Amino acid sequence: MGTKRFSPPRKFDKTNISKVPMGKPIVYELLNKNAENIYTGSAKRLRSRERLQDHTSGGPDPIPGASNFRVKQMGSIKEAQREEKRIIEKEKPKHNKT
């Protein structure tokens, strides 16, 4: 299995969210204007766009200060959740509860 990498950062808007692949679970990072990770999450297959949309300013779980995002496709939701936990423990993003 090869090393999975994050996509290049994209502007955190509806147009770019609509381009996120839906076929596999993902880990995502929301970045501030300084490219710092301020929130990390994971999403099941077919829910990636919905989860990202939840974090926009009009969504039910907004993340203030998010201006860009990046995603990493994973092989399973368990793998995505392990990666999410690893990133949170290592980077301690501002808006993740630890």
**How many CB atoms are closer than 10 A to CB 93?**
21
Q: Which tens digit of pLDDT belongs to each residue from 39-70?
A: 999 999 999 999 999 999 999 999 999 999 99
- 61-80 burial by CB neighbour count: b if 16+ within 10 A, else e? eebebbebbbbbbbeebebb
The confidence score (pLDDT) of residue 97 equals: 86
**Structural domains in the chain, sorted by start:** 10-91 (3.40.1440.10)
Mean pLDDT of the chain: 95
